[in-house]
Amino acid sequence: MSVDQRFKGVGVAVVTPFNEQHEVDFDAYVRLLGYLAEGGVDYFVVQGTTGESPTVTPAEKKRLLELTKQNNPKKLPIVYGIGGNDTRSVLEAIAAADLDGVDAVLSVTPYYNKPPQAGLVAHFTAIADASPVPVILYNVPGRTVVSLSLDTVLKLAQHPNIIGIKDATSSLEFAMQLAWKAPKDFLLLSGDDNLVTPMVSVGWHGVISVIANAFPSEFGKMTWHALEGRFEEAAAIQYSFIDFDTLLYVESNPVGIKKCLEIKGWSSSEVRLPLIKASDELGAKLKAAMLREGFI
């Protein structure tokens, strides 16, 4: 068997636009979906952590998912974020969600309560058992503290409803170990935009990207150059993003990428507390980098 082809390439972790009153700007969200689809992304990831899922209400999440389904003329696959640090609440959220038309669930490792590896296995097994659609693990220890070990991922990969992982450990050794030891039909997706080309070079299948919100065409070209073995061309684009990628996280995600979208005229840079929107200094640095690299 091969990996699920729907999720190769570039999935974009879609931001949630807000207006100045910090209400969800649903019109801007629909415009952004159109921009991303025309830019060539391969699928949408709705209400991942880049979508500020911790501060978006259940009713808002429901509406954002509905709008994604309704404004998807290219019929791109849809991945929906459902995760948390209370397994029971995650299972309730899965049961309550309308997953008709959703192709997979992305579920982040539990944060704050620091479960052991056996707890992580039990947590994700319960989610996979309950979910009517396939589950993609999301490993991001920089935000959750806890990290899935290699043995834990390999154990979870045996579950028939766990089809892959988005990994943001920034570890090429971990990436190589997974590419070597995971089942051949297990989907391997980078969660680190600045490591996509090297990760693909050792057998990974694509990325769930932050940068692609503002630069879908450029990031898509880079990723598919790599997937099709044109590593020199992929590297040239990857290098243009390296310094830029670092800037995006200086004041936390999605603060930086939302500022880029504002600079490009697609949506406001507003975020919800406890995040605050980009400082003038960061905005100036991002705009200068975008001009320098030819992104605007």
Catalytic residue list: 138, 166
Cα–Cα distance, 50 to 14 (Å, whole number): 7
Cα–Cα distance, 49 to 65 (Å, whole number): 15
Cα–Cα distance, 112 to 146 (Å, whole number): 8
H-state helical runs in the chain = 26-39, 58-70, 87-96, 117-130, 141-144, 150-156, 172-181, 196-201, 216-227, 231-248, 255-263, 280-292
CB–CB of 241/212 below 8 Å?
no
57 is in an annotated binding site: no
208 is in an annotated binding site: yes
> 162 pairs with which residues across the strands?
135
CB–CB of 243/262 below 8 Å?
no
Of 190, 116, 126, the C-alpha closest to 147 is 116
* Residue 42 CB neighbours (<10 A): 22
Amino acid at 79: V
**Sign of CA pseudo-dihedral 118, 119, 120, 124:** positive
**Sign of CA pseudo-dihedral 170, 124, 223, 253:** negative
Amino acid at 185: D
Binding-site residue numbers for pyruvate are 50, 208
